[in-house]
């Protein structure tokens, strides 16, 4: 289309000068009202192909404040158990340096949030009793636990084995050494011997509590002891502890399960939260927050939060929720009740099997628009079936190709950084963030329609950048292939706005310097 316009406007270039139009990328305006020029311009526009799409404009609101961004992250279970010794993978996920993997050059994501899983399995028999597991359990999803028997609560006793799970711990340290600064400890299931059926995959029917009532305190002791041991011996401290994972779900079935999991009734959750707070405090970890409840769905999270009661809610420092309701669910309602209670909110786990990145970015935009979390965590950065950002087999410990969704996430994670203020991007296809120290505005947008120009209006800012200044931009094409995080410097500020041509399914990130709210 641009070549078409250029051919029809060649005669006009001597009487035109740069200005942002709404229809073409050549950026010209009339210097005079010469009628011949006007006739030529009219004819040129009339000859444009009928398929040219109209522009869209979004106005960014500098007065808005959707929270201070805490970061992007991933859970280490299960992929780090398989690949925890790999420095190149640590560079790829936890730094912003460029790394080559299987002949593909990758811009590091710079994730700063690490979720570490407290395992629930052990091969040690206790008083003649052994762990029970279904044949359906995937080997790579069994995470080794530290408290191997109930004989002693002392972490220095033989009841605890701090040498297990070394690979996941190694990756945690590698992440820390590359700049990760926020650490969460979470549980998929209590230790197997705390479970009613001794099975960390879940109860026999999948929908009843599997934590024995007399072991509720033991589960809290387990989590608090790991947090204390890490602070004393691992060279970092957990910022938060979550004793549950999708507790209201009915799929944690000990007969058919493929991973560790445990159902908790809401009343049981409330009890455990109170005990956990006491156990953390008694170990000098009053500054360690409790997060809860990591429900699968937004609707479940609403029901759980409302059902916990004020005493249990008072023990929570942050609400975590997973994104498995995808495009549905009460995102706005969850934000409303959580913020009214004065709690932070994280999207603490998201994943699906669409390797193109389309579903991921679509649901991420919904999260930014309606859920308004201050952190966003991807579940398995390495996994098969489209779930991983990078395609991998955690059982065979093999890595294949890099999925397009990796580069889609890079458009966000490499630019919206911790400490930035999240702004109202003005539309359901854009996200905006502001760095006050650098006076930098970051905008990420997606074009779902036909190829067109998207315009970004900054007229409400005190200083909307410098007229004529370059706006750096990066582009990734959603799909099975296409442009991957390509940088360009062809975008300029014109007055109070800038714009760019978007192919259908393109994700673009812009960094505008010299902006003052």
Residue numbers annotated as active site: 246, 349
Beta-bridge partners for 435: 440
- Work out the number of other CB atoms within 10 angstroms of the CB of residue 404: 23
Q: How far apart are CA 410 and CA 506, in angstroms?
A: 13
Q: DSSP readout, 209-221?
A: --B-GGGHHHHHH
Q: How far apart are CA 475 and CA 483, in angstroms?
A: 7
Within 309-388, residue ranges assigned H as helices are 310-313, 331-340, 358-366
- Work out the number of other CB atoms within 10 angstroms of the CB of residue 126: 17
357: left (phi over 0), alpha (psi -120 to 50) or beta: left
Give the 3-state secondary structure of residue 311: helix
> Inter-axis angle of helices 404-413 and 358-366, to 10 degrees?
30
Give the 3-state secondary structure of residue 248: coil
Give the 3-state secondary structure of residue 234: coil
Q: Residue 128: which residues within 8 A CB-CB, separation 6 or more?
A: none
Q: How far apart are CA 222 and CA 117, in angstroms?
A: 12
Q: Report whether 509 contacts 431 (CB < 8 A).
A: no
What's the gap between Cα 196 and its chain centre? 34
Question: Tokens in use for 419?
Answer: 């400490």
Residues found in the chain: 517
Q: DSSP readout, 376-441?
A: EEES-SEESTT-SSEEEETTTTEEEEEPHHHHHHHHHHTTS-TTPEEEB-SSTTEEEEEETTTTEE
Q: Report whether 268 contacts 211 (CB < 8 A).
A: yes
Distances, alpha carbon 268 to alpha carbons 44, 113, 285, in Å = 71, 28, 23
Angle subtended at Cα 481 by Cα 475 and Cα 486, rounded to the nearest 5 degrees: 25
């Amino acid at each position: 289309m641009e070549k078409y316009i250029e051919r029809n406007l060649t005669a006009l270039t001597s009487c035109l000068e740069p200005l942002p139009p709404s229809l073409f990328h050549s950026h010209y305006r009339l210097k005079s009202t010469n009628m011949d020029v006007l006739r030529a311009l009219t004819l040129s526009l009339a000859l444009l192909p009928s398929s040219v799409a109209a522009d869209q404009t979004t106005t960014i609101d500098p007065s808005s404040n959707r929270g201070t961004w805490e970061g992007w992250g991933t859970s280490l279970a299960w992929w780090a158990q398989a690949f925890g010794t790999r420095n190149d993978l640590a560079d790829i996920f936890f730094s912003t340096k460029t790394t080559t993997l299987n002949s593909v050059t990758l811009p590091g994501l710079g994730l700063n949030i690490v979720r570490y899983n407290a395992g629930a399995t052990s091969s040690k028999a206790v008083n003649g009793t052994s762990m029970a597991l279904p044949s359906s359990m995937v080997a790579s999803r069994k995470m080794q636990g530290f408290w191997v028997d109930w004989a002693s609560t002392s972490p220095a006793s033989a009841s605890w084995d701090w040498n297990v799970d070394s690979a996941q711990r190694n990756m945690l340290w590698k992440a820390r050494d590359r700049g990760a600064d926020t650490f969460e400890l979470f549980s998929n299931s209590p230790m197997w011997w705390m479970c009613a059926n001794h099975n960390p995959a879940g109860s026999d029917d999948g929908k009843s509590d599997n934590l024995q009532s007399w072991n509720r305190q033991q589960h809290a002791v387990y989590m608090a002891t790991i947090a204390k041991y890490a602070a004393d011996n691992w060279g970092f401290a957990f910022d938060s502890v979550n004793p549950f994972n999708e507790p209201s779900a009915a799929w944690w079935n000990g007969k058919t399960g493929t991973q560790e999991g445990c159902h908790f009734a809401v009343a049981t959750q409330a009890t455990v939260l109170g005990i956990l707070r006491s156990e953390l405090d008694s170990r000098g970890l009053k500054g360690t927050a409790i997060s809860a409840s990591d429900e699968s769905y937004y609707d479940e999270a609403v029901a759980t939060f409302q059902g916990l009661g004020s005493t249990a809610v008072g023990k929570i420092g942050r609400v975590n929720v997973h994104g498995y309701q995808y495009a549905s669910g009460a995102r706005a309602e969850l934000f409303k009740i959580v913020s009214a209670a004065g709690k932070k909110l994280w999207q603490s786990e998201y994943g699906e099997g669409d390797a193109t990145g389309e579903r991921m970015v679509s649901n991420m935009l919904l999260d930014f628009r309606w859920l308004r979390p201050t952190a966003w965590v991807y579940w398995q950065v390495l996994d098969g079936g489209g779930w991983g950002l990078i395609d991998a087999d955690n059982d065979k410990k093999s890595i294949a190709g890099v999925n397009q969704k990796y580069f889609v996430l890079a458009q966000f994670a490499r630019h919206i950084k911790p400490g930035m203020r999240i702004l109202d991007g003005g539309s359901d296809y854009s996200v905006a963030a502001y760095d006050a120290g650098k006076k930098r505005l970051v905008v990420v947008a997606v074009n779902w329609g036909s190829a067109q120009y998207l315009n970004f209006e900054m007229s409400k800012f005190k200083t909307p950048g410098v007229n004529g200044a370059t706006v750096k931009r990066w582009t990734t094409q959603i799909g099975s292939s296409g442009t991957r995080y390509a940088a360009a410097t062809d975008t300029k500020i014109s007055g109070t706005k800038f714009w760019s041509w978007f192919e259908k399914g393109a994700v673009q990130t812009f960094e505008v310097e010299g902006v003052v709210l």
